[in-house]
Amino acid sequence: MESKAQLALLGDDAEDQVRWMLRRSSGAWESRRLQLLDTVPDVLAFYSEGSAALAADFYDDARVGTVGAFSATPVVLDRTVKIRRGVAWASFPLSTSDDELAAARFAQLMRSEMARPYRDTITTNRRNDPTAVGWKRITSSGACKFCRMLADKGAVYKEATAHFAAHDDCMCTCAPVFKGGEIGPEANTMQYMASKRRRSPKERAALKAWLDAAYLD
């Protein structure tokens, strides 16, 4: 099966798991929050490792036929603080007995956090691999125009500083690009600008104008 499809399945599984954990929690809402703070991070760690392992396999498969020896390592960055904050945020609707909203938030948290190690594994290994020249974005069907613009023409991000801008709903992933393989055009100025962690108001306006002019909603 395609790596991205496997990642989507793993995401579905992570979402089912967290919904079940939420239903299983009991007592006053503060107590439920504590139970979830106690358990969700470990479950998320399990899925994050799975996602990073999928990406490392994908990386090695994509590399077959290129030069030099390299074996990708799974990368799971430390997100402990952010994840605990995410669990607190997702639990908060329990204070008004809004279990449905809490479940939606937990599902979003799981999906966005478990998709990260996949991308981090690709982008980190490609920086360490002399045969890699960059990475390209792989969109899912239904991705927004911002994400489609970033992936347009198979653009290759070569600058190590290019950040992978992600939307929770779009579930984009990335793939390494190697010397000697099929290499798309390097990302253009707008694509690089959209991949910066922070943009000035002027850059945001330019980006919006470009998106509106060149990409359909």
Shortest separation between residue 216's beta carbon and Zn ion, angstroms: 14
Pick from 8, 43, 144, 206 the residue near Zn ion by CB under 5 A. 144
Shortest separation between residue 153's beta carbon and Zn ion, angstroms: 17
Shortest separation between residue 69's beta carbon and Zn ion, angstroms: 36
Site for Zn ion contains 167 (CB under 5 A):
yes
Shortest separation between residue 171's beta carbon and Zn ion, angstroms: 9
Shortest separation between residue 172's beta carbon and Zn ion, angstroms: 7
Residue 33 or 136: which CB sits closer to Zn ion?
136
- Cα within 13 Å of Cα(184), Cβ side: 19
Choose the stretch contacting Zn ion; rule: CB under 5 A; options: 10-18, 35-43, 109-117, 165-173.
Answer: 165-173
Residue 89 or 164: which CB sits closer to Zn ion?
164
Choose the stretch contacting Zn ion; rule: CB under 5 A; options: 10-18, 39-47, 85-93, 139-147.
Answer: 139-147
Beta strands in 94-196 (DSSP E): 132-138, 156-157, 173-178
Site for Zn ion contains 147 (CB under 5 A):
yes
How far apart, in whole angstroms, are the C-alpha atoms of residue 38 and residue 121? 27
Choose the stretch contacting Zn ion; rule: CB under 5 A; options: 11-19, 162-170, 173-181, 201-209.
Answer: 162-170
Produce one character per residue of 91-124: b if its CB has 16 or more CB atoms within 10 Å, e if not. bebbeeeebeebbebbbbbbbbbbbbbbbbbbbb
Q: Are 122 and 75 in contact (CB under 8 A)?
A: no
Q: How many residues touch Zn ion (CB under 5 A)?
A: 5
How many other C-beta atoms lie within 10 A of the C-beta of residue 172?
A: 22
For 37, residues 6+ apart whose C-beta sits below 8 A from its C-beta are 84, 87, 88, 91
Residue 156 or 166: which CB sits closer to Zn ion?
166
Residue 94 or 147: which CB sits closer to Zn ion?
147
DSSP string, 30-49: HHHHHHHHHHHHHHHHHHHH
For 5, residues 6+ apart whose C-beta sits below 8 A from its C-beta are none
Residue 146 or 215: which CB sits closer to Zn ion?
146
Please report where in the chains the tokens 């974005």 appear, as a residue.
137
Pick from 170, 171, 174, 194 the residue near Zn ion by CB under 5 A. 170
| Sites of contact with Zn ion (CB under 5 A) | 144, 146-147, 167, 170
